[in-house]
């Protein structure tokens, strides 16, 4: 029978990050320093080292996003309540930021039904109308990315788009199109190319940026971890 010792959550996270970085080196995964905190947190969330290669970033996306967060008042708009629940509320509070999800809003449900579209499409449209400079976060619905691409062509210029939906239908294509449009229009974007992704990945990317912005990448600096 194995014998276990109590280890503080902060120490578990620090050791996990050390293991991740070491294994990245063993696997030949090279990531620019600017992207390392995001990539490591996604691998920490998923235990999937494929993200060391399939996460793509537009130029200076991380640096610009952290700067925007530090200015205060940013709004995250997610396409699932699961992603919303995973975003660090203490970090949002420190940065006078907020996170919202309209997917369960009765008005959005009615609108999607009347227009014959998805709730994700209606949610992104509402988000852009209310917060055009928001951080849009998609971990589930490729229709959210398709809608964001349409709105970028119409002139939308958000602070950041996190494009990591998971699945098999329109997922690969919607990420590719969105990422290319963002690069062309100087919009910061982080995308998980291919089929992989999910609400947990979306939340982990947001948290990596939030922790970087408030200086709590070290888990010991987050009081609840002591």
Label the pairing between strands 55-57 and 189-192: antiparallel
The answer to whether the beta carbons of residues 190 and 34 sit under 8 Å apart is: no
Distance CA 119, CA 101 (A): 11
d(C-alpha 10, C-alpha 16), whole Å: 10
- Residue 109: Cβ within 10 Å count: 14
Three state DSSP letters for 3-33: CCCCCCHHHHHHHHHHHHHHHHHHCCCCCCH
Three-class SS state of 101: strand
Would you tell me how many other CB atoms lie within 10 Å of the CB of residue 2?
A: 3
Compute the distance between CA of residue 71 and CA of residue 65 in angstroms, rounded to an integer: 10
d(CA 53, CA 5): 34
User: What positions carry a catalytic annotation?
Assistant: 44
């Amino acid at each position: 029978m194995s014998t276990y010792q109590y280890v503080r959550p902060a120490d578990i996270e620090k050791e996990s990050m050390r293991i991740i970085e070491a294994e990245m080196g063993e696997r030949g995964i090279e990531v620019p320093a600017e992207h390392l905190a995001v990539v490591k947190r996604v691998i920490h969330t998923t235990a999937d080292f494929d993200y060391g290669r399939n996460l793509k970033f537009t130029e200076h996306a991380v640096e610009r996003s952290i700067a925007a967060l530090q200015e205060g008042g940013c709004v995250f708009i997610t396409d699932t309540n699961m992603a919303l629940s995973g975003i660090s509320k203490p970090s949002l509070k420190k940065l006078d930021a907020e996170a919202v999800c309209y997917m369960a809003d009765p008005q959005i449900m009615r609108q999607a039904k009347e227009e014959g579209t998805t709730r994700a499409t209606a949610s992104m449209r509402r988000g852009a109308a209310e917060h055009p400079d928001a951080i849009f976060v998609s971990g589930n619905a490729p229709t959210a990315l398709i809608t964001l691409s349409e709105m970028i062509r119409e002139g939308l210029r958000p602070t950041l788009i996190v494009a990591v939906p998971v699945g098999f239908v329109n997922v690969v294509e919607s990420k590719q199109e969105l990422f290319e449009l963002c690069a062309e229009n100087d919009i910061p974007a982080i995308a998980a190319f291919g089929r992989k992704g999910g609400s947990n990945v979306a939340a982990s990317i947001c948290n990596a940026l939030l922790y970087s912005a408030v200086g709590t990448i070290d888990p010991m600096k987050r009081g609840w971890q002591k």
